[in-house]
Structure formats: C-alpha cells, structure tokens
Structure 1
C-alpha cells in the first residue's frame, strides 16, 4: 500500500509521466525568463492502455527513456531561487499527486544554461546538471492515496482523462512566489486510454457447450468491440483429439494466408478484420461442411508500453446442419400404377411395393424425370400405351 509521503522522485515522475502526450507548443513561458519543454517517448504515446508493469522500469523508475526534456535560462544573467512543482489530476477524482521542491533547497541556472532531464537523471537529492542540492516534498494527495488503494493491486490504470502540470517558479523574500514557466497536457480524450480492450461475440453460435446449429454455410460473424481496432478472426473444425483451446492456439501461432502463412489442416478461416462483422467468404477459406462442428474466436494485439499484448475473446461454437432431405418420390396414382405395371410387369411391381421400395426417378432417352414431372410423363406414357402408340414387348 502506498502512503502519502515523499516518494522516490524519479519513479514518481515516470509513473505519472505516462499520462503525458504533449507537443512542444504546449509550453507556456509567462515572462520569457525560463523555458520548459517535455517530450514523451512513442512507447507511451502509442500505448492503447497504460500498464505500469509494461514500461521496462525497475523499482527506482530507471529503464527506457520515457520522458525527457529541458529547463533553460533564457537570459544572460544567473536566475536563482528556482523550484519545481508537479501536479497530476484524474478527471473523475481530482488532484492525485503534488510534488514540490522543498523550501530552503532552491536551484539556480547560469546565463543561457540548458539542463537536459529524463526519468533516469532525476533523484530525490537533485537533478543531474544542476549543482545545487534539490530535495522534494509531497507525493500522493489524500485523494491520490485512496485512488491507488482502489486499484487493489492492479498495475493498469482505469479509463479516465488524466492531466499533468509542471511548473518552474521563483520564490524570493522580496516577491514571494512567481511562476516562470509551466507545461500541462492531458491524455484520455482523443487517445483511447483504458484498462482493457473488451469485445463480445454475437453470432454465429454460442459458448462451446450450447450446441447451436446453423443452416447457412456462409454465416455472418459479428461482435461488439471498440471502433478502429483490427481483429484476427479464426475458425477451426472440431477434432476428436484436440481441445478447442489448443486448436485455436495452434492456428494463432502461424501467420494468416494473406501474410504469407497457410491454413492448417483443421483450420477453415484465418483473416484480419477491422470492424464488427465479417461474412464467411465463398473463396479464400475452406468451405464449412454440413454436420461438422466449428469453433471461432477473435483476438487483437495492443501496444502496452514496450510490450505487445494479445487479447482474446471467448470461444464460441456452432454446427452446420445437415441439409434437409426432401421426398421427391413419384406419387403413385391409378394412372402411374397402370403405366408402371405395363412397363415392368405386375409381378415385379407388386414385389417392389411389398418390399418398401419407392420410385424416385426414371430415365428416358438420357433424360431423368422425378417428382411431379415424372408423374406427368408416366400418365402420358399410359395414354400412348392404351392408344397403341407405344407397343411393349414381353409379358406381364
């Protein structure tokens, strides 16, 4: 648990600098005595969510250069009695951090001196490049302490709009406190900052034990997710020896066909999709087979600090139904019965009927007839037989 006290300034500023995404024009210099500028590494600015354990830092806040910048004396005279104040705000909570140079420990800048700083050059007792000993007071505010405790051990910050303000001020007996330069910025507005990237499957199918059947061999896959995120959609066929999890994991370990990979033996579809739906294609995928069960899952890769993290959805399943068999048997009317008896003989006809056979189709001159059309043709044959237009050889 964090206590409200003087934290290691290097780690604190790095932890809080993850909220920054600010171009140089954000710098405000009230009287052009001191300039202040901060730059943020792409590791932070490109992150889709903020995970403090993914920044490559040790317990002292050292590691990759995540935040850097400079403080510069713009005059030709020594500027003395300088202090630094850092404030951090969470939109839903208020001020969560306040760190200020300790009274009695100011620093000075020589004429036109520029001091480069980054998260690895700060310490509790000073700033590299400044000869004066600088100490800091402050840390988490009461609200900040409650905020950290509310994370309950999580190292991922909740979705919110975070802002930071850094001020360089001069404090003299003569004039009191005078702010010389400040910089402020926020993240969480236009840039998506969230504790997780969630997506939920909608169709087809349901969770793996729901036994849902579908009839369309080209189903529409749909889900609920965040706008602008690219998803990888995988569809695999059920296996008697492998679990759905292992099948999908194996499929994910190889590249999609459009990226130089190939579909595995049990894999039907592997494609990247931007949006929230995808129609199963008639080409570029293995056709779904009637009677087979399939599993599908979405995944997406997101930038988290220096790492790429993969998020996956639930696994859903569906079974493609067998096509319904339609009874196209020829309807046996009195006319068709007479025609068939004339064609095959009464004994043969009775034997076939008593054995449970039905007539599905017949062929004349290479043309196959079935269903209602066959009934019409048989009736026509009977009329021609009775009219003597067709003479059958052999006996009945």
Structure 2
C-alpha cells in the first residue's frame, strides 16, 4: 500500500519514544503456612501465549535455544523507521462512515436516514444486503429494500457491518503485497478481539460499540511491523528472544495508537489503546483498557487454537480475578469458541 511505502520516506525524526517492554510478573510467593491461593493462569503461561502469538503473526519459526547477536540492531532499525512514520499517509476512512457512526449514536434516528447514509457507499450497500440475507438474520419474508435491511440489522448490527467494511481491507492489505496470509491472520485476530471485547465490556460498564471498535483496531500497527520484517534478512530467526518479540509488539501498539488518533476514534478507545501500548498497571487502567487487555489474550488463544498452533484451548478463566470474575472469562471463551470454531483454517495449519 502507498502508506506502507511512505514508511521509508525521509522525514525529520521526532524525539524517540522509548518502547516499554511488556512485563509479565511472576506470582508472589506465599509463606508455607499460608493457605494456597486459588488456581490462576501464571504469568509465564501468558508470556508463552504472547510469544507464540507474535511468532505466528510475524511469520517466524518456533523458538529454539540460542542467542541472536543481530536482534538488537534489527529492533532498533524497526524502531527508527517506525518513528519516521507519517500518519498523514494513512488512508482516510470513507467519508460516509464517520457520519453513519455519529448517526448511530442517536437511538431515535430513523431507518430511512440510516439507509440514505448507507446508500452513499455502494460497497457498504452490498455488505449490508449480504449480511441481512444471511442465515442469522433470515426471516419469513425476503429483503425488499435497503431500508428493510437496515431496520433488520438494527443499530448494533449496522455499526458492526460498517466497522468491518472500514477495517477489513486495511488490515488485510497492511502487511504488504507479500503478506496475504499475514493480512488474513490480522483480520482473524481483529474479529475475535472485537467480539471478546464487546462481550466482556458488558460486565465492565463499557459502551458496547466502543468496546467492539477498540478490539477491531487493536492490532492495526502490527501489519506495518510485518511488512518491515519482510524486507529484512534475519539470520537464525528461530533464536529471536522474547525481548525482541516484546519490542515488535510495542512498536505495533504504538503505530496502532497513532493510527487511531489519525482516524479520530472516540476518546475511550484512544485511552484504551494508549494503556495497551504503555502496558499500564491493571489498577490504573480504564474499564475499556482492562477489557481490551483481557480480550486481546483470549483472542490470541482462540486464534492459535483455531490454526492448530495450540493443541488445546488454555483455560484462562482464573487469569484476571481482579478484573473479571472467572465465570465471566469462561463464558467469553465459550462464546468465542461457539462463534469462530466453524471458521475454515489455513491450509497446512
């Protein structure tokens, strides 16, 4: 894409923003006499999950023991190019989408007005008609008009269709011309993360659409990192360390945040992505930030299991007892499995 090529365009370097390595704290030891704590997903398990996910998304082989003397220089090159990134080269959202999403915040807006806005984008019209005619929305009567389809979808359904129409082509193309598989993986993660974020957001008091939107854009910047790595010769990629993977994740999160600001996303979404990029402490995160953090891990696990990277689905229900009740996390994992288990897997996975 043009905006990815612009990553390499010369421009003044801003003051470098230090990337904060994600911290995975080991559980505190308890005295021998103290009662055993309830079972929890230990931090090393979450770190392992994040590492497997990063390798899968970046197209790197499974990890092997050994030091990679080239990784520090490689990571710094990626960071420097990321600092040069000009957000003005990002594609603008289709003009109708901000207007449509603004109209959808008004519960009293008429179906005819929504249909008029949708009708200004022929591709969005096609997507609305396709989804409304799907098995999920099928009724006894065929869809006779765009207004009928809009009313049938409802405001929540229309928000999601519009958001997918906006983000799917961007994510699928963001990894570059040689990253078709990576682009599809980005979209697969986005769908799952958005679904999990909206599901958990109900328990955290988040706006449902803002939770969905945060999830669907949360990994946008990773496409640029994938593209940059594809242009590098990486000696012994199997020995790249967790530190290198953390650095790539932080760079992707930083680029995602800048993209979301460029697109003028809602304030709570920006705040959640900022917390995600800076790895805020759990007690200082906003409700949507906490929701996005957990949804990100649940969607990681679901995606890796769906593509055969994990043999079984890890039980993460006990991993964040101070954020969500274990039963809520378990229900979210079950719902993800119900929604996405039937989706086809990549060949060879």
- Name the TM-score, length of structure 1 as normaliser: 0.16
Which has a greater percent of strand? 1
Q: Rg larger in 1 or in 2?
A: 1
Which has a greater percent of helix? 2
* Larger RCO, structures 1/2 (Cα 8 Å, 6+ apart): 2
